[in-house]
Structure 1
């Protein structure tokens, strides 16, 4: 796991708030070193509780986007009971990874290539060896899952 990844301190927080807020997900910024409610992995990793994403300045961008995409992929019933563990099955996890890559293109100074680089550096595991190889050649099932749920335009 590399620490050389984009952190929320490196991006425009207003852009992230606007991107996620447009879908109804609130962001609560925590003070440096403060506990992050709903963080599955602990430390600086983003957390989810209900309709709120919890982050702090040292939270990796990929973590914030990943947890946000879990929330985006859930129905209202799952969101109501959401606390820490987003759950979901393997195909949903793939869809979450796919969507977070797409969302990176909507943040100034970030793009999908950088996010995939950060995902690889952090230790995301894809059967083709990299996020980019998976995204470009092996993610049809993730795209179809997102399309079936209206989360991705044809």
Structure 2
């Protein structure tokens, strides 16, 4: 699902809670900050760069990297979000939770789009991973204060180093 179909104003409003600015690039130039290349979302500083046809899955994934990284990495962020195994799993988990806050997207669509993109979870699908094998990712997000005990995103950024 492209970002424009998901609703750019709603996406901007959701990510503004995390002090992340969504920048739409229409020009036929390379997408700034894109690790994977066009049409995948890019990150530079506190800006998330997308095209009208950037998948919402990509935009949320990169946004969740921004949310989940520590303060030091966020301060020098340019293209490669980095992070370890636990953080990557937390990013995937959080993007599914945030998808529920976008009308017309939701976790069902996010699971499908993640599978189509090629995420390879041990259980064979994003849905099975989320429902049966993602306890550590959920715990990581809880410990960092990024979700509450009901698995609702708190709107906070990870702090510390």
Task: Give the gaps of 5 or more residues in structure 1.
Answer: 1-5
User: What residue number does 1:68 align with?
Assistant: 63
Q: Distance in 1 between matches of 2:45 and 2:140?
A: 23
| Superimposed CA distance per residue, residues 118-150 of structure 1 (whole angstroms, 9 cap, x where no aligned partner) | 100111110100000000000001001100100
| Superimposed CA distance per residue, residues 100-123 of structure 1 (whole angstroms, 9 cap, x where no aligned partner) | 000000001111011100100111
CA RMSD after TM alignment: 0.9
Task: Give the gaps of 5 or more residues in structure 2.
Answer: 150-161
Q: 1:58 deviation in Å?
A: 0.8
Alignment coverage as a number of residue pairs: 149
User: What residue number does 1:7 align with?
Assistant: 2
Residue from 114, 117, 132 that aligns with 2:112: 117
Deviation >6 Å, runs of 4+: none
Mapping 1:75-114, distance limit 5 Å: 75-114=70-109
Is 1:36 matched with 2:10? no
Give the TM-score, by structure 1 length.
Answer: 0.94
Give the TM-score, by structure 2 length.
Answer: 0.90
